Structure 1
Amino acid sequence: MFKDIVVGVTPSGLDECAVDAAIGFAQRFEAKLYMVHVAGMGHSWGDMRHLEPSGETDQIKEQILERYEEKVKGVEQLQVHVVPGIPHAEVLRLARKVNSDLIIMGPHTKEYAEKRSSMWGMAGSTLERVSQKARCPVMIVTQATPYGEHKFENILVATDFSEQAECAVNYGGQLVRQYKAAMTLLHVVDTDGLAGQMNDDELKRLLAQNRERMEEEYAARLKGVEPCTFECVAGKPAMDILKTARLVNADLILMAHHSKEIDPEKAFLGSTVTQVALNAKCPTMSVNRHFDLRCGLMYDQDGSVTEEKASAPV
């Protein structure tokens, strides 16, 4: 299913949960695994040009290999890249170079543990920018999951009916079929913009209309996905996505990254996908454009399976 996986890594092990997930996928699908550490994260701009000539990049590479020596034994093709630069730019650069079909990221901040409780107001710029600009799906893993095989049984897909969210729904349908999982499709009516504008009856009608719209727009392309549940609730998007994820016992949340934001820079001030990812008990995957599983099944427009496929374009 996944053939070329890029994962961000630090020698300190802050993102070990994400690296464990990447190793697990690489082992299960016999995929190529590319670990990338951007040395600029812990150095000043003036030091960066001296990192490689001084041999420090090689030392960091050795630290990473030593830390994960036992866990990567089942990975047949492994590369470790240590480069100076801007974290999100270098992660995206490597992903494009190797034509990856999955990027996996962890929290990547030393202050993560201390600031976890106040994370709602924060924006992790590396996570934001990678998930916004990546050409392939980005999985964000911020909490430890059972080491080894990841088996998705309940997948939650959030949609706001945007074009990017449509891509997330399509990709979610492929994952559900591949894993033979249950799917919950969720739309949250943001009540912040409705304060004082609707009474309870009007809000109920709006929720019913949006649920009908979900079935009309997505039912055909999710043909063959069983069970598939459509849910529409009113509240705050991030909080209600997390609440629903707990209720359905989701082991993967899939959504588009700030799909309706007009100004991309403004979206860095705490997008819904980042708020969800940094507070979810399970991994969160961001999908912003159409992308097919590399090693899975071919689907007709109505969602029915047509044939096996070996690869798919980015």
Structure 2
Amino acid sequence: MFKDIIVGVTPTGIDNCAVQAAMEFARKFESKLYLVHVAGMAQGWGSIETLEPSGETSRLKEQISETYAEMLEGIQESQIIVVPGIPHNEILRLARKKNTDLIVMGPHTKEYEETRSKMWGMTGSTLERVSQKARCPVMIVHKDVVCKEPLYSNILVATDFSDQAECAVSYGGQMARQYKANLKIMHVVENGNSRSDVIGRLEDEYGPRLDGIGECGFEACRGKPSMEILRMGNQADADLIIMAHHSKERDPEKAFLGSTVTQVALNAPCPTMSVNRHFDLRCGLMYDQTGAAVQTEALA
């Protein structure tokens, strides 16, 4: 299912949960795994051009290789990549080059983000910027993930009826079909809308394209979106939460990872997947944008 996976790594191992999850996926799906570290920001050097000539990138690569050598056992194809630059730019560049179908990331420490902001004058974290522009889904992992069989049994998709949310629902439908998982589509009701009206809209807009999913339900609730999504995730025993990376911004290039997604991702009982574009699973069955199954050969 996941053929090419990128995971962000650091020499300090602060994102170990994300790395372990990516490695488990790589073993399960016999994927190519790229462990990527972008040097220059955390170290505090003033010029990224000096990192390779000085040998710092080679030193960091060796350090990361030693850190993860034992964990990489059993993974057929893996590569450690250390490059100088701005993290989100280099991760996105590599993702395009390798045509990856999953980027796995963990949250960075507050101190790291403050250092990055002071050095480069950028707002928003690497996670925000990767999720903003990635062409493939971005999985945010902040705690240990158990790679079970089936991988997913209960999938929760939160929608706000935006264009990006359409992509998230479509991807959730594909995942549910692939794993024969239960699927729940939810929306947090805004003032002035009744719960029954919203459920009716969910059924009308998404119901026809989700045919063939064993158990598919729709839910509407009222409250703070992040809190309600977290509550529903616990209630549904979700092992994956899928959301659009922002709310109702029509242009995904202009939108940032919304605070709702951030709050859910850092507190959810399971991984959170950010989807902001239509993306097909690379497996035996593919699905068009209406959710209809299309038979095709597996992609390499």
TM-score normalised over the length of structure 1? 0.85
Distance 2:147 2:47 in 1: 36
Q: Deviations over 1:241-280 (max 9, x none)?
A: 0110011111110010113137979965852111211111
Q: What stretches of structure 2 of length at least 5 have no aligned partner?
A: 113-122
Superposition pairs of residues 116-265 of structure 1, within 5 angstroms: 125-146=125-146, 151-190=151-190, 194=191, 206-261=194-249
Distance 2:9 2:148 in 1: 18
Distance 2:254 2:291 in 1: 35
The runs of 4+ residues in structure 1 deviating greater than 3 Å are: 147-150, 261-270, 299-306
Relative to structure 1, the CA distance from residue 13 to residue 99 in structure 2 (aligned partners, 3 Å threshold; closer, same or farther) is: same
Relative to structure 1, the CA distance from residue 65 to residue 307 in structure 2 (aligned partners, 3 Å threshold; closer, same or farther) is: same
Q: How far off is 1:11 after superposition?
A: 1.1
Q: How far off is 1:106 after superposition?
A: 0.6
Q: For residue 41 of structure 2, give the secondary structure of its aligned residue in structure 1.
A: helix
CA contact (8 A) 1:24 1:149 kept: no
Q: What stretches of structure 1 of length at least 5 have no aligned partner?
A: 113-122
Q: How far off is 1:207 after superposition?
A: 1.3
CA contact (8 A) 2:164 2:250 kept: no
Equivalence for 2:120: none
Q: Deviations over 1:1-60 (max 9, x none)?
A: 111111100011100100111111111111111111011231335142221111111111
Equivalence for 1:271: 259
Distance 1:30 1:265 in 2: 32
Q: For residue 37 of structure 1, give the secondary structure of its aligned residue in structure 2.
A: strand
Relative to structure 1, the CA distance from residue 213 to residue 291 in structure 2 (aligned partners, 3 Å threshold; closer, same or farther) is: same
Distance 2:56 2:289 in 1: 51
Asked if 1:299 corresponds to 2:287, the answer is yes
CA contact (8 A) 1:293 1:311 kept: no
Distance 2:51 2:297 in 1: 43
Q: How far off is 1:67 after superposition?
A: 1.2
Q: Tell me how many residue pairs correspond in the alignment.
A: 290
Equivalence for 1:120: none
Q: How far off is 1:298 after superposition?
A: 2.6
Q: How far off is 1:309 after superposition?
A: 3.1
Q: For residue 10 of structure 1, give the secondary structure of its aligned residue in structure 2.
A: coil
Distance 2:221 2:289 in 1: 28
Q: For residue 79 of structure 1, give the secondary structure of its aligned residue in structure 2.
A: strand
Cα RMSD of the aligned pairs, angstroms, is 2.4
TM-score normalised over the length of structure 2? 0.89
Relative to structure 1, the CA distance from residue 32 to residue 217 in structure 2 (aligned partners, 3 Å threshold; closer, same or farther) is: same
Q: For residue 173 of structure 2, give the secondary structure of its aligned residue in structure 1.
A: helix
CA contact (8 A) 2:245 2:257 kept: no
Equivalence for 2:117: none
Higher share in helix: 1
Q: How far off is 1:61 after superposition?
A: 0.9
CA contact (8 A) 1:157 1:255 kept: yes
Q: How far off is 1:79 after superposition?
A: 1.2
Output the amino acid matched with 1:309.
E
**Sequence identity percentage:** 65
Q: For residue 80 of structure 1, give the secondary structure of its aligned residue in structure 2.
A: strand
Relative to structure 1, the CA distance from residue 269 to residue 129 in structure 2 (aligned partners, 3 Å threshold; closer, same or farther) is: closer
CA contact (8 A) 1:188 1:233 kept: yes
**Aligned with residue 269 of structure 2, among 268, 281, 285:** 281
